[in-house]
Structure 1
Amino acid sequence: MPEPNDSPAILPDFCTGARIFRVLAVCEAVAIILALGSSESADVWRLIFLLSVYLLWIGVCSAAALCLIRRWAYGLSTRQVMILSYVSLLGITFVITEAALLAGPYTGFWVLLVEASPMAFVLRSLGICGVVAALALRYFWLRAAWQARAETEARARLEALQARIEPHFLFNTLNSAAALTATRPQAAETALEDLAALLRARLAHETAEQVTLAEEMTLVAAYVRIEQLRLGARLSFITDIDTAAEQARLPALTIQPLVENAIGHGVARRAEGGRVQLIARCTRQTLTVTVINPIAGQLERVPGHRQAISNIRDRLGLAYGSQASLEFSHDACSFIVTLVVPQPESNDMT
C-alpha cells in the first residue's frame, strides 16, 4: 500500500474533543473489566474508581503526546514517527505508574498492589501498554495507507471521468460549430470560444482538488452554452445561487456531471425539451446544491444515468466521510438531485 503524503498524518488527530472522548471511554471500559476480573472484589466500586483515575491519566497524557507528535514531527520518516510514538506511550505509562505508586500511601492507590508487588505492577502495566500501543499504531498505519490508496484511486477515477467527458465536449462543440459556420458564423465563433474557456477551466481543475462553486459554475455555463447550440429553445437553464454559496468550496468537476445528466437524460430526450434548475444555498457549515430536471416519460433509461451520481458520491465519501451526501428523488414530473458538502468553520459565510 502507498505511504501517506505526510508521516505524522499516520496518527489520527488526538487534539479534537471527539477523539479524546473515545480514548476516555476506552480507558473507562478497560478499568471496569479489570476491576470485575480482579479476585479482590470486596470493594469493587473503590477498585473501579482507582483504576479509572489511573487509566484516564494514562489515556489523556497519551492522547496529548500523540497530538503533539502529529503537529510537530514533520520531517521524520514513517518509521521514526512510529518509534517516537511507541516510546512516548511507554514512557508516559511508566511515569504515571511510578507516580501512582509514590502517591499510594496517601491516596489509596496501594489497593492496586493487593495482587502484585510494585515491580510486578510496573512490569505488567508496561507489558499491557506495549501490546496495546503496538496494535494501535499498526492499525493507524494500515488506516493511513488505505486512505492514501483510496485517494489515489479517487484521483484516477476523476481523471477517467475527465477523459470520458473530453471527447463528448469536443464532438458536440465542433460538430455544432461546423453546422453553424455557413449560416451563423458568430454563433460558431462563440461555440469555439466556449470550448477554449471550457478546456482552460478543465486544465485548472486537474491541478486543484477543490474549487469554489463560482469556478465550477464557469465549467457548467460553458457546457450549457454548448448544449444550447444543439437543443436550441428546447433547453432552458436557470440558476439561483446566493452570494455566500459562490465562494463555498467543493471537489472539482462535481456539479457539471449532474447538469450533464439533467440535460442528457431529461431535457434532450423530450420532444418539447424542458427546464433545468440549479439552486445553491450556503450556511456557515454546509453548502447545498439542488439540480432539478424534467422526467422523460416512460422512455427506457440511457446507460450511465447512475454512473456520475455513483462516482461523485464515492469521491464525497473519501473527502468528507458521512458529512457529505448526494441523494436523488423524483415525483411525477421532476428528477431532483441534492448535493450537501460541509464547509470549513473558518469560512466567512452567513
Structure 2
Amino acid sequence: MNPTATRPAQAFLPDFCGTGRVVDVLVICQLVAVVLALSALQTARGFWFSLFLMSLYLQWIGIFSVAALCLIRRHLGHLNARLVAGLSYTGLLAVTFALSEIVYLAGPQTGIAPLVADISHQDFLIRNLGVCAVVSALGLRYFWLRDAWQRQAAAEAEARYQALQARIRPHFLFNCLNSIAALVAMRPADAERAIEDLSDILRASLADDDRPLATLREELELVDAYTRIEALRLGDRLTLDRHIEPAVADWPLPPLSLQPLVENAIRHGIEKLPGGGRISIEAVRRGDFLAVSVTNPRIEKPDDDSGGLRLALANIEQRLALRYGGRASLQTARGPDRFSVVLNLPAPEADNL
C-alpha cells in the first residue's frame, strides 16, 4: 500500500489557521485579479477600476477559502489524505460558487455591477469556477508533492542518522572491552565488576534502540558507568567533575552524544599525561539552548595523531545536523594545555523532529 495514501491529513494540508498562510492566499488571489483585469483591459482608467472590483471579489473568495481549509484540517485530520484533498478541492469550488452567485445576484443593485455586466449568469459561473478549479488543483498538487518530498528527505535523514548511530556503538563497545581485557589477568575481581558495568551500559543504550532521543540524565549515567570502567585501569590518574543544573536533567538529546566526548577526553588527554588529569562536565541552560561542555587537559605533541578524535566529533556533528538541522552545534576550543567541546542543543519546545 502506498503510505502517502493513508498518512494523516495534517501532514499533507498546511495549517491555514495562521496569519502567514492567510497572507499567502491573499497574495495569490491578488495576482489572479491582476491577470483577469489585464485580460479584460480596454483603457487605463478601466483597468484600475476593473482591478479594484476584481481584487475585492477575489479577496473575499480567498478569505472564505482559507476559513474552509482551516476547518477541514482542524476537524477532519483523522481522515485519509486523499479524501481530505478531495474535500478541500470541493470546498474551494463550493466557496467560489456561493460567492459568485451572491455577486451576480446582488451586483446590479450595488457598486460591483461592472463585474457582472455584459456576461450571462452561466458564463459568469463557468469562468469563475474554471479559474478556481485550475488554481486550486495546482495549489493542492503543490502541497501534496511538497509533503512527499519532505517525507522522503526525512526518511533519508533518519536512515543516515541510524547508520551513524550504528557506527558509534561498536566503537564504544570495543573500547570498553579493551579496557576490561587489560584487567582480566591481574585483577579479575575488578574485571568482573567492569563487565557488570558494561552490561548496564549496553542495557541502557540498546533497550530502546528506536527511541529518537535520550535524556541528559541517561547520558550521564552512561558516562558514569564508562568512567568507572576506565578508572579501574587508570586509577587515580582519572578524575571526573560534574556541574549540572538540576533543571536540565531531563533535557532530550541524541543517544550516545556525551559518552563519546568523555571517551575522547580520556583517550586523547588523560591517557597521554603521566599524572593523568581532571575531566570537567558542565551543563547549563542558556536561553533556549542547553550547553553541555566537556573539558580535559592535554599536551601538545608534534606527532600527536588526533584522527580518532576528529572522526568521533565529525560523527556527532553529522548526527546533530540530521536531528536538528542548523539549530544545534558542536564547538571545540583547543588551548596549549586544555581541550573543550561544547554541545549546543535547542530547547524541547523548539525541536520539531
TMscore range, shorter length: 0.7 to 0.9
d(CA) in 1 for partners of 2:232, 2:21: 54
Give the corresponding residue for 2:349. 344
Give the corresponding residue for 2:318. 310
Alpha carbons of 1:53 and 1:146: their partners in 2 closer, same or farther (altered >3 Å)?
Answer: same
1:196 equivalent in alignment to 2:199: yes
Matches within 5 A, 1:225-244: 225-228=228-231, 236-244=239-247
TM-score, normalisation: structure 2: 0.77
Counterpart AA for 2:171: H
Return the match for 2:16 from 4, 14, 17: 14
Alpha carbons of 1:157 and 1:110: their partners in 2 closer, same or farther (altered >3 Å)?
Answer: same
d(CA) in 2 for partners of 1:288, 1:131: 48
d(CA) in 2 for partners of 1:43, 1:329: 66
Return the match for 2:125 from 122, 125, 128: 122
Q: CA deviation at 1:39?
A: 1.0
Aligned residues: 338
- Residues 2-26 of structure 1 show CA distances to partners (whole Å, capped at 9, x for unaligned) of 5387330211222333333333343
d(CA) in 2 for partners of 1:269, 1:100: 82
Name the SS of the counterpart of 2:349 in structure 1. Answer: coil
Matches within 5 A, 1:1-350: 3=4, 6-8=7-9, 9-32=11-34, 34-35=36-37, 38-40=40-42, 41-42=44-45, 46-113=49-116, 116-185=119-188, 187-228=190-231, 236-257=239-260, 259=262, 267=269, 271=273, 276-282=279-285, 286-293=288-295, 297=300, 299=304, 301-302=306-307, 304=311, 305-317=313-325, 324-328=327-331, 330=333, 332=335, 334-344=339-349
d(CA) in 1 for partners of 2:112, 2:29: 17
Counterpart AA for 1:328: Q
Identity %: 43
Alpha carbons of 1:240 and 1:125: their partners in 2 closer, same or farther (altered >3 Å)?
Answer: farther
d(CA) in 1 for partners of 2:114, 2:235: 85
Does structure 2 conserve the Cα–Cα contact (< 8 Å) formed by 1:241 and 1:281?
A: yes
Counterpart AA for 2:344: L
Does structure 1 conserve the Cα–Cα contact (< 8 Å) formed by 2:215 and 2:253?
A: yes
Counterpart AA for 2:24: R
> Unaligned 5+ residue runs, structure 2?
none
Larger Cα-atom Rg: 2
- Residues 62-109 of structure 1 show CA distances to partners (whole Å, capped at 9, x for unaligned) of 233333333333553332222222112211222222223334245423
Q: CA deviation at 1:47?
A: 4.4
Q: CA deviation at 1:148?
A: 2.3
Q: CA deviation at 1:224?
A: 4.4
Does structure 2 conserve the Cα–Cα contact (< 8 Å) formed by 1:58 and 1:92?
A: yes
Does structure 1 conserve the Cα–Cα contact (< 8 Å) formed by 2:240 and 2:280?
A: yes
Does structure 2 conserve the Cα–Cα contact (< 8 Å) formed by 1:2 and 1:148?
A: no
> Unaligned 5+ residue runs, structure 1?
346-350
TM-score, normalisation: structure 1: 0.78
Name the SS of the counterpart of 1:87 in structure 2. Answer: helix
Counterpart AA for 2:251: A
Name the SS of the counterpart of 1:206 in structure 2. Answer: coil
d(CA) in 2 for partners of 1:132, 1:262: 59
Counterpart AA for 2:75: W
- Residues 181-237 of structure 1 show CA distances to partners (whole Å, capped at 9, x for unaligned) of 354445434422332222222224423223333234333444444455566556554
Q: CA deviation at 1:140?
A: 1.8
Counterpart AA for 1:188: A
Does structure 1 conserve the Cα–Cα contact (< 8 Å) formed by 2:214 and 2:255?
A: yes
Alpha carbons of 1:34 and 1:293: their partners in 2 closer, same or farther (altered >3 Å)?
Answer: farther
